[in-house]
Structure 1
Amino acid sequence: MLTWIRSGEPLIWANGAAVSISVIAVVGLISLLAVRGFGHFWPNNIIQSGVVYDGQESAQLGVLVEEKQVSGEQLRSAGITLVGAGPFFNRMLFKQGNRDFLGSDFVWVLEEQLVDTHNPEWAMVVERLEWGNQYGFLHSVTVRGERVAEGEGVPRTWQAFQQAIAGSVAVREEIHRIERKEIGSINHGMEAVRLAERKLEMAGDVNPGALAELAEQRAVLDAEYRVLQQQLASLYDSIRDDRYEVRLVDGRIVDQAIAKVVRATLPNQMSLLQKMGHYVAKLWEFLSTEPREANTEGGVFPAIFGTVMMVLLMSVMVTPFGVIAAVYLREYARQGLVTRTIRVAVNNLAGVPSIVYGVFGLGFFVYIVGGELDSLFFSAALPSPTFGTPGLMWASLTLALLTLPVVIVATEEGLSRIPSAVREGSLALGATRAETLWRVVLPMASPAIMTGLILAVARAAGEVAPLMLVGVVKLAPSLPVDGNYPFVHLDQKFMHLGFHIYDVGFQSPNVEAARPLVYATALLLVIIIALLNFTAVSLRNRLRERYKSLES
């Protein structure tokens, strides 16, 4: 036994077990996120049943979301009357939708309370822009004030409903395009004219010709705006009288606007192939559209874009500063007490809580640097701040500062592994010290630089606390990149997947509806970080292969 221990084999088994446990934990985490998150988009069948409680029966229509075993003692202590005497009861969570009529999206029901459970063929789910999903039976369809189809369970009524939804969605997309792009461009131009007039006023330059030219530009923009307003009014009028009637499970027939409908489906009639197509469409909507309904519906594209753009900007900012600092400490600074003290300080900076960096970024970058930039370059816009308010650039700079120690340490370690003979050989061949550094040392240290960048990306992409102070907001559907000069708006606030998870998971008024999106968004954040890291790892490996012969 002692010989076996001294052979080192137990350590090998221990290391193998540790790696296995880590892999199982990672796979389990990703599987949990995938099942709980992306499973949310699968179109489950709609269930109709009667619910008997205290001798009274009521109807229920919805989708089964969750089942769990609950002890009878716990239910009785909560005041729930039970018929059976078993120790455990099956409690079921149904999504009943119709929050505007029933008060809540979800309801808990005991399995023993359900009677006459079935899947009605014509039960439909309507996804709406407001008030969440609606479950019921299509009763009639009215287009432009004229009832074009009616009758429950009639294919013609359903087809008319689908055609009306498609027309309404097309009109909404055109309205969105006009409001966001064309009117947004006009508003940007109007603001530019206002600032130009303000600059002339502040400079005391009352130039009639310049003022007349600005007035002419404003008149042209006003005329374009009036034309667009007429187009919008026409588009809104074209769908204002499109309505549909739906019979709820309690027998009420309610009238709703088709303009507020995203899509309508009949899950109980869908084949497996149709459900797969619907799942792909919902997943694409989640990845490519804006959030709605307090971030509990719709997509997360603005958060994806903001996360990736912030990480890229942070990488561009942190790499040069980190490399320069490491080069100075390793190649130029005299190795002594001061240099050792600086290295200790850099290592300690890596352990500072991230919220401290957020406070520093808010105080220094936003209020001091941003305030000075506004005074120097954007005085015409004051008192409205341009850079003197949290935004994308300050968030990227703050995270660059947070991850700077990681890049410095990794780069310095890479520089220390390069043999002195390489430097001496380069100098002996007539190269200057700067040429040696730029053409020999830094290329050979590039894998270590990429390692530092990988670690920086892994840490920065998941940070939330500092971003809450320096630029991230709950909802910012407008992207920081558009067609208006200067095209990239670094002063603009943005959305972030990490903060989106926090907001949906802990600030949402509809917890049950938000829970699947928390899992889905968390998995999406993990995937994005992994893709960014894999890209950097691939580049590092190429650089390592390229300079392997020099190291040997």
Structure 2
Amino acid sequence: MKKLTRKKSSWFSSGSPWIWLNGGAVTLCMIMVVGLLGLIAVRGFGHFWPADILQTSIVDRTGQTHIIMGEAVRDEVIPAAVARDGGYEIADDVELITRHLFKMGNRDISGRDFVWYLDIGMKPWEYPNDAVSIERREWGNFYGYPVAIKEGTALVSELTQADFWQQVDQRLDRALDLHAQIHRIEKVDIGRINKRMDDLRLERRRLELNGVTGAALAAADVNFSERRAALEAEYAIIKKTRDDILLQATRDKLLVRTADGKEAVIAFDHIVRVTRPNVMNPLQKLGQYVERVWEFLSDEPREANTEGGIFPAIFGTITMVIVMSIMVTPLGILAAIYLREYAKQGTLLKIIRISVYNLAGVPSIVYGVFGLGFFVYILGGNIDQLFYPESLPAPTFGTPGLFWASLTLALLTLPIVIVSTEEGLSRIPSTIRQGSLALGATKAETLWKVVVPLATPAMMTGLILAIARAAGEVAPLMLVGVVKLAPALPIDGNYPYLHLDQKIMHLGFHIYDVGFQSPNVEAARPLVYATSLTLILLIIALNITAIKIRNDLREKYRSASD
């Protein structure tokens, strides 16, 4: 007994229980993290897998028969009392019943998109081979049967003909190519002309503000008129080209029929994709799945952000984080170097350090309010008065935009960089400083050529933490530059190429908007998961990049010190 007690005592005193406890806690945390990411991935990116189209019929409580066609989203078991309260006749001995959520599409015809149906009176599900899912640019998906193809008013092909599906694919590819041409003309060519026309207006206004009058202003007006006429002539040519392409794009039409016999006409230029999932094999579905995921990551949003892609949000998030990093890194490092190496140690410095530590705990929305009031209205308003008076009363920098969002995040993450850099500087042994000074180096040379390079990994650690904090922020960004929809990227081919005054989209705000402000909750649900996983992976990628740079710097200066 004494031996057993002694063994237990020695086992506890060895610290093994705490090692097992910590190991178990870490394992549990990893399981929870991996499980959460897996749940998000399945519910988010599982949405892009081409689901089979079912057809069935159901007799409602009034005795009418309804034909249902669409995708089965999910089902759930509910108490039978709920259905009885809704007017359904259910036997008293039945306690639970199943109901199914169907994505029926055809919102422009039936006015409904997602509908719950009880399995009471529901016929067995069928999967017709000719059923199609048509993804449209407006009104969501269409589920039904194709009937024929029209070119103008002429009937080209019908479903019974052998080349019908080949004709569908060819004409859809043609329509998609023409739509891409129209999009490029409107975004690039017409956008460039509009920018130059606006520059002419501002240049004319600038002359007036500078006091130019009389003959000089008249001569300038002649020059402006000639340049404007040249731009209008160029615009007329581009517009005619666009109109011609648009006329070609609207030539082909697809006649379709719903499951309950209603007919409709869909122009091919309104179609994104035509899918027959009931006859596709797994390899074909995998190919379309990859295509849909890539479209989600590289395309612009549609239908109140519930369809299409999230590329503007991805690009806006990366751009904002990069601009923030460019601003916060030198400011945070210089502040830390001054506090650690130059500032006189005393009560005032202790108060400053305490203030820096407290700033790290200030709620982010407070930074957003400060950024809106000081950066946007005061600083941006004065910049407009000094450098862009010709644009007033329309603001240039006196309105929320990319620069103010990045500067607000830089201010929010500044304490993190300062603290990390100070800790890195404090870890440099004093013997290294003394050795450098003993060899004849000045204090500045010792600092910038010896101490700072050795503290670079700590500085990168601060930047990593700042990126992780900034990339996931939402509350302050809603006030200082992030909006619901901004498909135009802040970088384009017009000078100055990077438009810091432009509003941007952000993945975090996109998740909030789609999840809580969407008019179509069921359509938005999988996109919330997919966008959340994209944001997590983006943050991980940014952190891994920064960690790789930090490790390379650490190895570089470690080998140099050896």
TM bucket normalised to smaller? over 0.9
CA shift at 1:154, angstroms? Answer: 4.4
1:406 to 416, 419, 424: 416
Partner residue of 1:537?
547
Q: Is the aligned partner of 1:40 residue 2:50?
A: no
**1:65 and 1:93 in contact (8 A); partners too:** yes
Q: Is the aligned partner of 1:189 residue 2:196?
A: yes
C-alpha distance in 1 between matches for 2:546 and 2:195: 37
Q: Is the aligned partner of 1:143 residue 2:156?
A: no
Q: How does 1:464-479 map to 2 (within 5 A)?
A: 464-479=474-489
Partner residue of 1:227?
237
Partner residue of 2:253?
243
**2:515 and 2:525 in contact (8 A); partners too:** yes
- Runs ≥4 in structure 1, deviation > 6 angstroms? none
C-alpha distance in 2 between matches for 1:154 and 1:22: 59
Q: Is the aligned partner of 1:320 residue 2:330?
A: yes
Partner residue of 2:431?
421
C-alpha distance in 1 between matches for 2:92 and 2:194: 66
CA deviation profile, 1:487-521 (whole Å, cap 9, x unmatched): 11000000000000000000000000000000000
C-alpha distance in 2 between matches for 1:77 and 1:27: 42
**1:92 and 1:108 in contact (8 A); partners too:** yes
SS at match of 2:487: coil
C-alpha distance in 1 between matches for 2:419 and 2:380: 30
Q: Is the aligned partner of 1:127 residue 2:135?
A: yes
What TM-score does the superposition give when structure 1 sets the normalisation length?
0.97
C-alpha distance in 2 between matches for 1:85 and 1:328: 79
C-alpha distance in 2 between matches for 1:70 and 1:156: 48
Q: Is the aligned partner of 1:15 residue 2:22?
A: yes
**1:124 and 1:135 in contact (8 A); partners too:** yes
C-alpha distance in 2 between matches for 1:235 and 1:513: 32
**1:138 and 1:158 in contact (8 A); partners too:** no
Q: Is the aligned partner of 1:361 residue 2:368?
A: no
2:79 to 53, 71, 75: 71
C-alpha distance in 2 between matches for 1:83 and 1:217: 82
C-alpha distance in 2 between matches for 1:114 and 1:471: 51
CA deviation profile, 1:297-334 (whole Å, cap 9, x unmatched): 00000000000000011111101010011111111111
C-alpha distance in 1 between matches for 2:298 and 2:152: 31
The residue type equivalent to 2:317 in the other structure is: T
C-alpha distance in 1 between matches for 2:341 and 2:85: 72
CA shift at 1:144, angstroms? Answer: 2.7
**1:67 and 1:91 in contact (8 A); partners too:** yes
SS at match of 1:147: strand
Q: Is the aligned partner of 1:499 residue 2:509?
A: yes
CA deviation profile, 1:253-285 (whole Å, cap 9, x unmatched): 112222211111111111111101100110110
User: CA 1:34/1:155 → structure 2, altered by over 3 Å: closer, same or farther?
Assistant: farther
CA shift at 1:83, angstroms? Answer: 5.7
**2:491 and 2:499 in contact (8 A); partners too:** yes
C-alpha distance in 2 between matches for 1:413 and 1:75: 64
Higher mean displacement: 108-117 or 334-343? 108-117
The residue type equivalent to 1:163 in the other structure is: Q
2:294 to 284, 290, 314: 284
Partner residue of 1:214?
224
What TM-score does the superposition give when structure 2 sets the normalisation length?
0.96
User: CA 1:518/1:84 → structure 2, altered by over 3 Å: closer, same or farther?
Assistant: farther
**1:410 and 1:448 in contact (8 A); partners too:** yes
Partner residue of 1:115?
123
CA shift at 1:17, angstroms? Answer: 1.0
Partner residue of 2:3?
none
Partner residue of 1:438?
448
How high is the sequence identity, in percent, across the aligned residues?
56
**1:289 and 1:298 in contact (8 A); partners too:** yes
CA deviation profile, 1:180-232 (whole Å, cap 9, x unmatched): 10000000000111111111111121324333222211111010011111112
CA shift at 1:51, angstroms? Answer: 1.2
C-alpha distance in 1 between matches for 2:91 and 2:537: 48
Q: Is the aligned partner of 1:396 residue 2:403?
A: no
CA deviation profile, 1:104-153 (whole Å, cap 9, x unmatched): 211112234320321000000000000000000001111133210124x5
2:97 to 89, 92, 95: 89
C-alpha distance in 2 between matches for 1:2 and 1:549: 46
The residue type equivalent to 1:159 in the other structure is: Q
**1:144 and 1:239 in contact (8 A); partners too:** no
**1:144 and 1:238 in contact (8 A); partners too:** no
**2:483 and 2:505 in contact (8 A); partners too:** yes
Q: Is the aligned partner of 1:340 residue 2:347?
A: no
Q: Is the aligned partner of 1:61 residue 2:72?
A: no
C-alpha distance in 2 between matches for 1:528 and 1:77: 48
Higher mean displacement: 6-15 or 412-421? 6-15
CA shift at 1:427, angstroms? Answer: 0.9
C-alpha distance in 2 between matches for 1:489 and 1:85: 68
Higher mean displacement: 90-99 or 110-119? 110-119
Unmatched 5+ residue regions in structure 1? Answer: none
Q: Is the aligned partner of 1:51 residue 2:61?
A: no
CA shift at 1:88, angstroms? Answer: 2.3
CA shift at 1:157, angstroms? Answer: 2.6
Partner residue of 2:283?
273
User: CA 1:445/1:102 → structure 2, altered by over 3 Å: closer, same or farther?
Assistant: same
SS at match of 1:388: coil
Provide the aligned length of Structure 1 versus Structure 2.
551
SS at match of 2:170: helix
C-alpha distance in 2 between matches for 1:337 and 1:190: 59
User: CA 1:443/1:302 → structure 2, altered by over 3 Å: closer, same or farther?
Assistant: same
User: CA 1:348/1:283 → structure 2, altered by over 3 Å: closer, same or farther?
Assistant: same
C-alpha distance in 1 between matches for 2:500 and 2:207: 26
**2:507 and 2:531 in contact (8 A); partners too:** yes
**1:418 and 1:551 in contact (8 A); partners too:** no
Partner residue of 2:36?
29
2:173 to 158, 166, 173: 166
